Amino acid sequence: MRSFRIATLAAVVVLLATGTALSGCSADAGPATVLATAQTSAGEIVTDADGRAVYLYSDDEQGAGQSACEGTCLAAWPAVTTSSKDPQGDGLTAEIGEIPAAGGGYQVTLDGWPLYYFDGDTAPKMIKGQGIGGVWWLLAPDGQRITDIGR
């Protein structure tokens, strides 16, 4: 009987150590702060926590809960993703959320707009994607679309 108790206790310790709760839910290990702001030639914009500009795609439907950018679109405009179910921002007043991401995890949203990077932005505060095709736009900390090209 004593060895059964020890084995049961060992199993509980292993479950807790691996982050698996007894209810079947796993711990949320994602970073909490995923968005911030930066000053650029287009004004104050929303960035990721490392200062990389993020964009909205006006072909997305605000609040739809899914992205319209697929395939080759995602190759040039990768989704801003997180493993956190509760992404946060620093210096933003717009509502930050998430939707399921195409490759797993979550795509970060701002006021219901899925967020993307531009693969041509190779350093913090770069905004080369601003206004491309008349559908890719930077966002202000209040969630409003920025239409000033700023380049």
Give the residue-averaged pLDDT of 49-60: 97
Nearest to 115 by CA among 129, 4, 147, 43: 129
Residues 96 and 79 in one domain: yes
Is 45 part of any domain?
Answer: yes
Residues 18 and 42 in one domain: no
- Between 7 and 57, residue with greater pLDDT: 57
Residues 114 and 138 in one domain: yes
Residues 61 and 2 in one domain: no
**Residue 112 vs residues 15, 62, 86, 122: alpha-carbon distances, Å:** 36, 5, 14, 26
Q: Is the pLDDT of residue 9 over 60?
A: no
Q: Is the pLDDT of residue 83 over 70?
A: yes
4 band by pLDDT with thresholds 50, 70 and 90: very low
pLDDT of residue 85: 87
Is 151 part of any domain?
Answer: no
Model pTM score: 0.79
pLDDT of residue 13: 34
pLDDT of residue 27: 42
Q: Which residue spans within the chain are E strands per DSSP? A: 33-40, 43-48, 55-57, 81-82, 88-89, 96-100, 106-110, 113-114, 136-139, 145-146
Asked if residue 97 lies in contact with residue 87, where contact means CB atoms within 8 angstroms, the answer is yes
Output the six-digit token pair for 86. Answer: 């509760």
CA Rg value for the chain: 20
Is 90 part of any domain?
Answer: yes
Asked if residue 80 lies in contact with residue 55, where contact means CB atoms within 8 angstroms, the answer is no
Asked if residue 117 lies in contact with residue 80, where contact means CB atoms within 8 angstroms, the answer is yes
Residues 44 and 72 in one domain: yes
Domain containing 77: what range? 31-146
Residues 124 and 72 in one domain: yes
Residues 99 and 125 in one domain: yes
In tens, the pLDDT along 36-50 reads 999 999 999 999 999
* Sheet-wide strand order for 136-139: 55-57, 136-139, 145-146
Residues 83 and 127 in one domain: yes
Is 105 part of any domain?
Answer: yes
Is 129 part of any domain?
Answer: yes
Residues 4 and 42 in one domain: no
- Taken in order 125, 92, 142, 103, the sign of the CA dihedral is positive
Our count of domains for the chain comes to 2
149 band by pLDDT with thresholds 50, 70 and 90: confident
Output the six-digit token pair for 16. Answer: 């807790």
Residues of the chain with pLDDT > 70, as a percent, come to 78
